[in-house]
Structure 1
Amino acid sequence: MALPLGLLCILCFVGSVISQDMTYEEYMAQIQACPQECTCPPNFPRAIYCDNKGLKSIPKIPTNTWYLYLQNNLIEVLSADALRNATQLRWLNLNRNKITSEGVEEGVLNAMPHLVHLYMDDNLLSSVPSQLPASLEHLRVSRNRISKIPAGVFIGLDKLNLLDLQGNKLMDDAVTEVSLKGLNNLVQINLAKNQLTSMPLGLPPTMTQLFLDGNNIEKIPIGYFKGLPKVAFLRLNHNKLGSSGVPKNVFNVSSILDLQLSHNQLTEVPVIPAGLEHLLLDHNMIKSVNGSNICPVSVDTIDDSVNESVPRLRYLRLDGNEIKPPISRDIILCFRLLTSIVI
């Protein structure tokens, strides 16, 4: 028997409220407290949408808000008063505003003990925000004016696994073991498009993704990746790496799956691990490729019937160098799983 439309609506409402662990009274209070500048969808009662409103300040946010969207406004101050009741926030999006480091009021962030995602891309920050909550897992502050990472700013952030600092003004003296201390469980760090001339020190051994594109890095220290035994994705495109600045076996790390070295000054193909799957060497100064030199195993030991003996390289890019096709036969004999090669 079909249910009346009114009863169906009530059941839908009850389901949505229960799914977000809210009582009917909490739901009604949340809807009534919705800032007039914002939108509070009834079917998503813990979310408040204040994005693209031309706001110059944050309206007062009600209790029980979990998701707050404030991107694409003109906000200059992260106000403790406006967010006084927003202690349940899990997700805060402040991308593309005009917030300065001075505009982040003291204690405003660590008053949110459940905050997991903090997005402050495309603002006017000059420093990584301090007093961050211990619950934080993702911090995105790309494309600001950050030139400083305060010492100890990450201490206590044991849940932080993603840190995006790309497109800032960080120099070597800002990215140090002291400034990165506390990132004990970091998985991904993005330091692309800064002003680094050397590889960052102090990264935790939990790292799997390291993005350093668009800096001025000229060399990699011998044994650099011994301290990063889990690194799988490494991007160093658009730097100033020459073959003299790349120690012979520095990339011969079994964990690396994706190695990107495009737009550098390499004259030779570096030694690579047998497990590498993607290698980008386009737009360097490489004149020739000798398969017997770059093959990570002896060609004579490769047995197609023994999976472990076959190098895993599937994608190789060499265009933009001084190499002329065709590719040499010993490359094909070594890397038998290659499905795409650009030359």
Structure 2
Amino acid sequence: MDRTEVLLKLLCLLVCLLPILHACPQNCHCHGGDLQHVICDNVGLRKIPKVSEQTRLLNLQRNNFPVLPTNGFRDLKNLVSLHLQHSHIKEISSGAFRGLKQLVYLYLSNNDISVIKMGAFDDLTEITYLYLDHNKIPDLPKGLLSPMINLFILQLGNNKLRELKAGAFHGAKDLRWLYLSNNSISSIHPAALEDVENLAVFHLDKNQLTSYPAAAMSKLRVVEELKLSHNSIKVIPDLAFQSFGRYMETLSMDNMGLEKFSDKAFFGVTTLKTVHIENNKLSSLPGNFPFIRLETLTLSNNPWHCSCQLAPLRRWLESSRSRPDAACASPSQARGQQIRDAAVLRSCKLPTRRSKKGSRH
């Protein structure tokens, strides 16, 4: 082989390698192999860079993309994880993620997103984890989330949502964890949750609800953790948790100004382990409050009325290892005493459980 042939072969090899050599954008870090990662964290980018079609993870956080354009990622057919946090995003165009049919993780937290055009999430049929928290999203129009048939976790905390309309989660039938904390939600349409009946974790704390959304909540079937803290709800109605009472283990309703649980509020609740109801205006608990499996109960800063109605609570407090604080506010002779120690409760007889013998039901 003469020198000319060698040079030609080297030149050909170099030409073949050029696309690979230039696949990593300037100032970014790239890792090759089957799981190729492209890291462009905080490198001053103002438009989506060109990267290899083989890229599996693309980290573009802490850059500057005010508008995510249509087809901005269209060639990245193998992308699994896309990071766009802290990137000053204000608007997501229709078809912005078109072509990303393998994407599983999408991180859009801590931006200024206030506009999401219909069709923005087209092609995201494999998306499982979507993080949109800490933005300025005002609304969830019907159909926006429809392509996401495999969505499992949706984080929408710290946005500007004011209501949940019918069909807000249409299509997201596999959604299991929904976080809506710290929005401005004051109303939930009765049909808003009918598409996500399999929710297991539902956080609605720090919103502006003034009544328990019973009609919407009755569509849920398997909620294990419900958080309603910091909403101005005064009364929890009968059968509030009945549709998912066999599954609910954690209930947070602290700091609500809550005055009363209706007599049958906990009807059907059988697996409750943790309850937070501190910093409210409760003076009593309903007769069917589910103490049987309860492990943790926080109930301080409530004006408890220490009558025999609280005898089941006193019995639970005596057996609890955590010894939570719970002081009587009335009657006057018991004021300030811990419920577990209150003399006024010592002579109370606990209600006996009715025998089910002979029952056909």
Same fold (TM over 0.5): yes
User: Is 1:136 aligned to residue 159 of structure 2?
Assistant: no
Matched, 1:215 2:207: yes
**Residue in structure 2 matched with residue 113 of structure 1 by the alignment:** 101
Residue range with higher mean Cα deviation, 314-323 or 276-285: 314-323
Matched residue pairs, number?
Answer: 296
Residue in structure 1 matched with residue 151 of structure 2 by the alignment: 160
Task: Evaluate the alpha carbon distance shift between residue 135 and residue 27 of structure 1 in structure 2; reply closer, same or farther with a 3 A threshold.
Answer: farther
Deviation at 1:276, TM superposition (A): 0.2
**Secondary structure in structure 2 of the residue aligned to 1:330:** helix
Cα distance between partner residues in 2 of 1:85 and 1:131: 16
Structure-1 separation of matches of 2:247 and 2:279 = 25
Select which of 59, 64, 70 maps to 2:54: 64
**Counterpart of 1:41 in structure 2: which amino acid?**
H
- How far apart, CA to CA, are the structure 1 residues paired with 2:21 and 2:301? 58
Deviations 1:324-343 (A, max 9, x none): 99x96532535897442422
Answer yes or no: is the 8 Å Cα contact 1:237–1:261 preserved in 2: yes
The aligned counterpart of 2:38 is 48
What is the Cα deviation at residue 80 of structure 1?
5.1
Relative to structure 1, the CA distance from residue 254 to residue 27 in structure 2 (aligned partners, 3 Å threshold; closer, same or farther) is: farther
After TM superposition, the runs of 4+ consecutive aligned structure 1 residues lying more than 6 A away are: none
* TM superposition shift of 1:189: 1.1
Distance 1:136 1:334, change over 3 A: same
Compare 160-169 and 231-240 and name the one that shifted more. 160-169
Task: Give the distance between the partners of 1:76 and 1:186, measured in 2 at CA.
Answer: 29
Structure whose residues are more often strand by fraction:
2
Deviation at 1:79, TM superposition (A): 4.3
Q: Does the aligned pair in 2 maintain the 1:152–1:181 contact within 8 Å?
A: yes
Counterpart of 1:127 in structure 2 is 115
C-alpha separation in 1, matches of 2:314 and 2:109: 44
Identity over aligned residues, as a percent?
25
Which residue of 239, 259, 265 maps to 1:267? 259
Once the two structures are TM-superposed, the CA of residue 236 in structure 1 deviates from its matched residue by 0.5
Aligned partners of 1:84, 1:74: CA distance in 2, in Å?
19
Q: Does the 8 Å contact 1:205/1:230 carry over to 2?
A: yes
CA contact (8 A) 1:223 1:250 kept: no
Q: Matched residue of 1:214: which SS?
A: coil
Q: Give 5+ residue unaligned stretches, structure 1.
A: 1-25, 297-309
| Aligned with 2:249 (options 253, 257, 263) | 257
Q: Distance in 1 between matches of 2:59 and 2:318?
A: 49
Shift of 1:237: 0.8
Q: CA deviation at 1:124?
A: 1.7
Alignment-derived partner of residue 330 in structure 2:
none
CA contact (8 A) 1:60 1:82 kept: no
RMSD across aligned C-alpha pairs, in angstroms? 2.9
